[in-house]
Amino acid sequence: MQRSTLVTVVAWVFIVLSGFAAFVCVVQSIMIATLFPHGVTQQIGSQPGTHVHEFARLIFDHIQLIFVLLLLVYATTFTAAVGLLKRHNWARIVFIGLMGLGVAWNVASIILMYYFLPSTSEMVTTSSLALPDHFNVMRNVVFVFGLTMSIGFIVLFGWIARRLVSEEVRSEFY
């Protein structure tokens, strides 16, 4: 049976990326646990005079849980990528699901950018900081860059999932 180069390359790329991401996630989790004693991250933004968006406050309140969930996603991706390399059908199905999750995550990130980036202008104009007028230009550049990256990942993850469901690729798996 002929093994496609696409599946092998996708598997190796995701083995390396998810392994590195899991390592970074563990190091960041240790760093946050070490630098910020329990409960300190929950206090961020709750001081009088601070302007922290509710979504950002929610993230700070549950930062350790977020790192655990990310580590779970990275470990699942790593495991599925190894299974993909070995041509296990369960890994192909899990990987298709992960690509769907990646598409959904990037769609959500576009929505969040659209929703939250304009509010940064309001926070800056109402704060006591005197920021230059170039802040809006920088915010727009960040939005366009983030939008471009998200659309790129949506297309890439969608393409990978589409290839993994094709009859040609499916025939490699058992």
Give pLDDT tens digits for 119-140. Answer: 655 555 555 555 566 777 888 8
pLDDT, greater one: 158 or 116: 158
> Bigger pLDDT: 102 or 113?
102
CB-neighbour burial class of residue 47 (10 A; exposed 0-12, middle 13-18, buried 19+): exposed
DSSP state of 4: P
- pLDDT value for 44: 63
pLDDT in tens, 22-67: 999 999 999 988 887 766 766 665 666 666 677 777 887 888 899 9
Q: Are 60 and 41 a contacting pair, CB within 8 Å? A: yes
Contacts of 158 (CB under 8 A, 6+ apart): 99, 103
Classify burial at 130, counting beta carbons within 10 Å of its beta carbon; exposed 0-12, middle 13-18, buried 19 or more.
exposed
pLDDT > 90? residue 69? yes
Question: How far is 133 from 70, CA to CA, in rounded Å?
Answer: 36
State the amino acid at position 60 in one-letter form: F
In our burial notation (b when 16+ CB lie closer than 10 A, e otherwise), range 142-163 reads ebeebeeebeebbeebeebbeb
Q: What share of the chain in percent tops pLDDT 70? A: 82
For residues 55-81, average pLDDT: 90
Is residue 147 within 8 A of residue 113, CB to CB? The reply is: yes
CA–centroid distance for 111 within its chain: 14
Mean pLDDT, range 138-161, rounded to an integer: 94
User: Which pTM value belongs to this model?
Assistant: 0.82
- Residue with the bigger pLDDT between 152 and 116: it is 152
Which pLDDT does position 129 carry in this prediction? 56
Round to whole Å and give the CA distance between 25 and 34.
14
pLDDT average, residue stretch 108-116: 88
Pick from 100, 101, 115, 171: nearest CA to 146: 115
Q: Kindly report the average pLDDT of the chain as a whole number.
A: 87
157 CB contacts (<8 Å, ≥6 apart)? 99, 100, 102, 103, 106
